[in-house]
Structure 1
Amino acid sequence: MTKYATVGPRKAALALAALAVAGLVAGCGSSTPATSARPATSASAFPVTVGGVTLSQRPTHIVSLTPTGTEMLFAIGAGSQVAAVDDQSNYPAGVPKTNLSGYQPDAEAIAAKSPDLVVISEDINDIKQQLTKLKVPVYVMPAAATLNDSYTELTDLGRLTDHQSQAANAVTQMKDGIASLVKDVPKRTKPLTYYYELDQTYYSATSKTFIGSLFSMVGLTNIADPADTDGKAGGYPQLSAESIVKANPDLIFLADTKCCQQSASTVAARPGWSGLSAVRDGRVVALDDDIASRWGPRVVNLVKDITDAVEKVPAS
């Protein structure tokens, strides 16, 4: 979910739980970006056409208007080619952050950065067409619906930036890291239940979303699933406090610690919540909003947060 991901609620931040699931994870739980060192450019790699955009040569002035895209570019070693990023991109440290907006993209402001490639998550206000008219190539990488989508986007960016091998390594590290974490989760006769909070008005994400699929991989049961059986909420239903209390989840995951200052103590202070087993037994997990809303290499960190929480719950 990067702060522009595809959620409807929590307006843009949830609504795009994407642009809302990152430097490269060099192994389980690590968040060290890949080095920018790279071999000499291979002239034979260009021209290249990926995702409907054609580049005649290796880009050197990339503008990223999606935090996930920014994290992916730096993760595959293309950071030195990134000239500017949007106002929500904040990882890794030292990215060339500007006041450019992915929510309200301004073609003239973007063009003023003299980009030879622009990376976006949402084609808001027909920004792709506007930039194309200005002869600026645009690659659109929508919020991933599956992990395979994330792997594809990393691979695409690797081809567009001439970092194919680094992108392949990033994908391999994600796959291996996630597989290792999931493999080590102890099997239970009765699956644990969980509530995933997008904001303090009880918007959540079902198992059919990108974020929900990560919890399903670990064998958890989502209490939000019954609230969107017809899919009308797009996988992001708003629950009620009463329904959450009634479900009494074994674990509560907060993805609103930065945006909304939620914590184990604020959850415990909610009427009727202090008696929930997750609150009583210290199983309220504070997540990093950014990592939880972006779909790049740091997804491995998120899966580790989930598996760590599960492993702390005694087997019944």
Structure 2
Amino acid sequence: MNRTMPALVVAAALALTGCATHSEPPTSANAANSAFPVTVTPAGGQAVTIPAKPTRVVSLSPTTTEDLFAIGAGPQVTAVDTYSDYPASAPRSDLDSTKPNVEAIAAHKPDLVAVSADSNGVVAGLTKLKIPVLVLPAATAVDGVYDQISLLGKATGHTAEADKLVGDMKSQITDVVSKAPKKSLSYFHELSSDGYTVTSKTFIGQVYGLFGLRDVADSAGGAGDYPQLSAEKVIAADPDLIFLADTTCCQQSPATVAARPGWSTLKAVRDGNVVALDDSVASRWGPRVVDLVKAVAAAVQKAS
């Protein structure tokens, strides 16, 4: 008898057993798919159940569009609204986020839609068509930025990528703020040249608050968190810093501010501390809030 036969038989048996019981470790894609169905609840909103990993996402919010691409869900996005201009690769369409049309949205055959407000009966209309809708309004605090990114990660099967993005953002913002000079400075944040601004209670105001800056709108009066201040009130407040969030929409600049009647006397103008911001960065609560924080830090550094 061939003494090698038992060994060969055992080896063969082990090989067969291995083939029968061995399984490939789950890939990240498989893990993401296995997370569905998933139920997510936007802050202050209703729970939304998403039955399967969405492959045709429609975004009617520029901020949400930025979030989706930043967490790696860009390939799943099939259409975005006319205002979603970042990133450049986003599939812009003629969808109007201010007056959403259910039929026009449904024509893109979405399996998930994100909006910033329930306008024009869009939620009821899409729900009737069994299309999940996420309502993600403007964040009111920096933590709200992180919460929306995390929620979109779960909703699209990119939880790990969303968590990493949030972690990176927190780390960068903490680092930038910790290195900024600590000095009491006042500021005026201009939304439009006719005096509309923000108070410290808004999301934008909280970003400035990270640096200990004082908002002149808090004491200058005006209705609501987005008051309109007269030129006289801004001049009387004499802010140390002026931030322009109307450079693209309204072509405002340090030069146009200095040319306004009475504004050339302001401390911010005299000292060269009128800061031109990117409108979209200053108005969206997505991943580029880090860029806004860096811009504010640079201004504080220069003014100190």
1:213 corresponds to: 206
1:151 equivalent in alignment to 2:146: yes
Distance 1:304 1:97 in 2: 28
State the 1:226 CA deviation. Answer: 1.5
2:189 corresponds to: 196
1:312 equivalent in alignment to 2:302: yes
What does 1:207-246 correspond to in 2, within 5 Å?
207-228=200-221, 233-246=223-236
CA contact (8 A) 1:46 1:57 kept: yes
State the 1:41 CA deviation. Answer: 3.2
Higher CA-based Rg: 2
**Which structure 2 segments of 5+ residues have no match?**
1-26, 42-46
State the 1:227 CA deviation. Answer: 3.7
Task: Output the amino acid matched with 2:51.
Answer: S
2:76 corresponds to: 81
Distance 2:66 2:223 in 1: 29
- Cα offsets for 1:145-199 (capped at 9, x unmatched): 01111111111100011000000011111111111111011122xx111110000
CA contact (8 A) 2:220 2:233 kept: no
Distance 1:41 1:71 in 2: 25
State the 1:266 CA deviation. Answer: 0.5
State the 1:44 CA deviation. Answer: 2.2
1:55 corresponds to: 50
2:157 corresponds to: 162
State the 1:233 CA deviation. Answer: 2.8
2:240 corresponds to: 250
Q: Alignment partner of 2:208: what SS?
A: helix
What does 1:57-136 correspond to in 2, within 5 Å?
57-136=52-131
CA contact (8 A) 1:206 1:235 kept: yes
CA contact (8 A) 2:101 2:120 kept: no
Distance 1:265 1:246 in 2: 20
The structure with the greater share of residues assigned to helix is 2
Q: 34, 41, 61: which is aligned to 2:30?
A: 41
1:282 equivalent in alignment to 2:272: yes
Task: Output the amino acid matched with 1:104.
Answer: K
- Cα offsets for 1:208-232 (capped at 9, x unmatched): 000001101111111000245xxx8
RMSD, aligned CA: 1.2
Question: Which segments of structure 1 move beyond 2 Å, counting only runs of 4 or more?
Answer: 41-44
Task: Output the amino acid matched with 2:171.
Answer: D
Q: Alignment partner of 2:181: what SS?
A: coil
Distance 2:109 2:37 in 1: 20
Q: Alignment partner of 2:225: what SS?
A: coil
Task: Output the amino acid matched with 1:200.
Answer: S
Distance 1:69 1:50 in 2: 15
1:35 corresponds to: none
1:172 equivalent in alignment to 2:167: yes
Distance 1:87 1:292 in 2: 18
Distance 2:72 2:90 in 1: 13
2:262 corresponds to: 272
- Cα offsets for 1:225-275 (capped at 9, x unmatched): 0245xxx83311111101111111111000000111100010000001111
Q: Alignment partner of 1:40: what SS?
A: helix
CA contact (8 A) 1:121 1:142 kept: yes
Distance 1:313 1:47 in 2: 52
Q: Alignment partner of 2:303: what SS?
A: coil
CA contact (8 A) 2:235 2:263 kept: yes
Task: Output the amino acid matched with 1:74.
Answer: F
State the 1:39 CA deviation. Answer: 3.1
CA contact (8 A) 2:182 2:211 kept: no
Question: Does 1 or 2 have the higher relative contact order (CA < 8 Å, sep 6+)?
Answer: 1
Task: Output the amino acid matched with 2:185.
Answer: L
Q: Percent identity?
A: 56
CA contact (8 A) 1:227 1:237 kept: no
CA contact (8 A) 1:41 1:162 kept: no
Give the length in aligned residue pairs. 272
